[in-house]
Each structure stands twice: as C-alpha cells, then as structure tokens.
Amino acid sequence: MVVKQLGKNLGYNIMKVRLQKIWKLQGGFEIMDNDNGFYMVKFDQAEDKEKIISCGPWLIFDHCLVVTDLSLEFASPNANVERTVVWVRFPGLNLVYYDERFLLAMTSAIGRPVKVDINTLKVERGKFVRVCVEVDLTVPVVGKIWVNGH
C-alpha cells in the first residue's frame, strides 16, 4: 500500500508512531520511506489492510492521509496525488433527507461516494450530515450543493 500525507511531510519515526496510533491494527505493519513524501506499507494481516481502505479517511495533525493500493506503474519521484477521500458536511439538512441512498446520490455531484457516517445513518446527530467522498484533485472542487432551495 502507498501512503502520503497532504500538505505536510513527516519523518519516518513520526509517521510510523502516528500510523500505529490512529490505525489501531490487530496485527503489525512495516513502513518504508520513499521519495517525494511517499511511504510503502506492508501489513501482517489482510484484514488490517481492508480496515485502512474502508475506514478512512485518515488525518495526521489535521492533514489528510492519502492511502492507495500499490500499482506496478507507481514511481515516487514523479508520482502525483490525483484523488483522495474526504468527509463532506451538509449542515442543517432536514431529517427527510437522512436516507443513505439519497445522500450517496446527492454526494455523487462532488465525487465518488464511499460511505455515510454512522451517526448520520442512525440519525443520532442533527447539526450536519456527513458523507465520505473520493474527490478528483485535478478538477475544481464543488463548494455547494443546493437541496430544495437551500
């Protein structure tokens, strides 16, 4: 797996300690620093890798951590981060819209919907709806979505 923190470069030891702290894995992992702020990560257990992919996005010191599978084309000196996963908030949304299918469809205007926050699905919080979305960083970000005139 390839990992890179956006907006901030951390040293090897700090990155390893921070990953251990936020990921809380069942097994261990090995980390190798690479050029251009990239790190290669190898997990002891396949379940841990799945957790990292499905439970993100991850933040270290309030900076987004890009996590992706390693491909044969990857070369760190000229690699660019073109996609990342972010949490998008929709403040003040009416309870009528607290429907997973609707929220995922609405969020597709921003990027590829990944999942709806568990508190949103359980309708436990009302200040905002939160949806995880994969966004393309090579195109302008969608700043607003209008829902029923709001």
Q: What is the pLDDT, as a whole number, of residue 79?
A: 77
* C-alpha to C-alpha distance for 118 and 149, rounded to whole angstroms: 26
Evaluate if pTM is beyond 0.75: no
At residue 102 the predicted structure's pLDDT band, cuts being 50, 70 and 90, is very high
Q: Is the pLDDT of residue 106 over 90?
A: yes
Residue 62's identity, in one-letter code, is D
Q: What is the predicted pLDDT for the residue at 50? A: 84
* pLDDT at residue 30, rounded to an integer: 94
pLDDT at 42 over 90: yes
Which is more confidently placed, 144 or 23? 23
58 vs 79: CA distance, rounded Å: 20
When pLDDT is averaged across residues 85-107 and rounded to a whole number, the result is: 90
Residue 92 makes CB contacts below 8 A (sequence gap 6+) with 127, 128, 150
DSSP code, position 116: E
Quickly name the fold that domain 2-76 has. Answer: Alpha-Beta Plaits (3.30.70)
Instruction: Give the alpha-carbon dihedral of 83, 57, 90, 116, to 10 degrees.
Output: 110
What pLDDT score does 41 carry?
93
* Helix/strand/coil for 88: strand
Please give the structure tokens belonging to residue 98.
């607290």
Whole-number pLDDT of residue 29? 95
Mean pLDDT over each residue of the chain, to the nearest integer: 87
> Rounded to 5 degrees, what are φ and ψ at 78?
-120, 15
Give pLDDT tens digits for 125-136: 778 899 988 888
